[in-house]
């Protein structure tokens, strides 16, 4: 299993979409990978962006799932408060 929280929020899409498949390849077949990212609708975004000058890359569930290669069954979900999105996939 591989879990990533707090990494993909800093990576532009080009780098993130290159890293996700590389991480997935490190798993055994049927291994699970989960990544988390702040959502554009994050209620604390104003504080992060304006007060703390904490620049993040916010992604929708679809954008997060799109970091994986096409053809995989990626499940994307949101946290109950909507501030985070999660994508999980099983390595074929």
Decide if pLDDT at 52 tops 80: no
Work out whether strand 32-38 and strand 84-90 pair parallel, antiparallel, or are unpaired.
antiparallel
Mean pLDDT of the chain: 94
What pLDDT is recorded for position 43? 85
Q: Where are the domains of the chain?
A: 2-90
The per-residue pLDDT for 48 is: 79
Domain 2-90, second-level architecture = 3-Layer(aba) Sandwich (3.40)
pLDDT of residue 25: 95
Mean pLDDT within 22-49: 92
**C-beta pairs of 74-77 under 8 Å, 24+ apart in sequence:** none
Q: Where are the beta strands (DSSP E) in 1-92?
A: 2-4, 32-38, 75-78, 84-90
Predicted TM-score (pTM) above 0.85 = yes
63's tokens: 């954008």
């Amino acid at each position: 299993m591989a879990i990533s929280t707090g990494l993909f929020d800093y990576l532009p899409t080009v780098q993130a979409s290159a890293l996700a498949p590389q991480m997935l390849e490190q798993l055994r077949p049927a291994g699970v990978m989960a990544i988390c990212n702040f959502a554009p609708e994050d209620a604390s975004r104003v504080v992060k962006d304006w007060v703390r000058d904490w620049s993040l890359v916010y992604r929708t569930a679809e954008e997060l799932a799109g970091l994986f290669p096409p053809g995989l069954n990626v499940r994307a979900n949101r946290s109950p408060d909507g501030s985070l999105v999660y994508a999980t996939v099983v390595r074929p």
